[in-house]
Amino acid sequence: MVANDPITTGASYCYTSSLAPTPLDSSYPIPTLWQTPDGHMYQLLDNTDSAAVWVQIPLTNECKVSATLSSLNGKNTGSTKVFTPSVGNFFTTGVSFSLTSVSGLVVAPTVTVGTNASSYDDILPVSALTLLTTVNNYLYIPITTQSKMASSGTDIFVKVTIGAIATTYTLSVSLSGFYA
């Protein structure tokens, strides 16, 4: 099946289609969103070995995906801007962390995501990335509790609250969500 109406935002994608995605729909980049007219939305979690893994997520007003922060040093504490919504209000539905390089790992970092200066934890509270230990693996954290929407012009940051103990630990960070 070929989806129609691709909406490209940075390195992420959003598709609308009359049918739900299947494991054969494996040629899309993670974290692609897929919306159907009957009110369902899916997010691509894995697409290895020509078998896609899609998960249904809460339907949103309009399918959109933010740009991806391609390089975050997980060893260094501090905050880094990921995205600034340009129109309307942006509601984050999930955050994907992908490990792009790692060596000498002893302890993975702890992170937050948000808009509130200094803590940056009003979208994703403190989350340890302990499962993220292998290059090209990712960790998707859905936002399942009340969180902050970001209005137009409000920066969304990722914050490394506890740095990784490693020789190198570099991630990419992607926000998925919708505008309303």
Contact assessment for residue 41 and residue 61, using Cβ atoms and an 8 Å cutoff: no
Q: Hey, what are 59's tokens?
A: 């339907």
Query: Would you tell me how many other CB atoms lie within 10 Å of the CB of residue 33?
Result: 26
Mean pLDDT of the chain: 82
- Arithmetic mean of pLDDT, 136-154: 86
Whether 62 is in a domain gets the answer no
Domain span holding position 127 = 67-179
Contact assessment for residue 39 and residue 20, using Cβ atoms and an 8 Å cutoff: no
Q: Check residues 117 and 147 and name the one with the higher pLDDT.
A: 117
CATH number, domain with residue 73: 2.60.120
| pLDDT of 117 higher than 70 | yes
E-state strands within the chain: 4-9, 12-16, 33-36, 40-46, 53-57, 63-73, 78-83, 89-103, 110-114, 124-128, 138-142, 150-151, 156-162, 168-179
pTM exceeds cut of 0.95 = no
Question: Which residues lie across from 179 on neighbouring strands?
Answer: 90
| pLDDT of 38 higher than 60 | yes
Among candidates 24, 60, 69, which has minimal Cα distance to 44?
24
Q: Check residues 114 and 38 and name the one with the higher pLDDT.
A: 114
Predicted confidence at residue 27, as pLDDT, reads: 79
Are 157 and 83 found together in one domain?
Answer: yes
The domain tally of the chain equals 2
Per-residue pLDDT band at 84 (split at 50, 70, 90): confident
Last residue of a domain, one of 57, 82, 101: 57
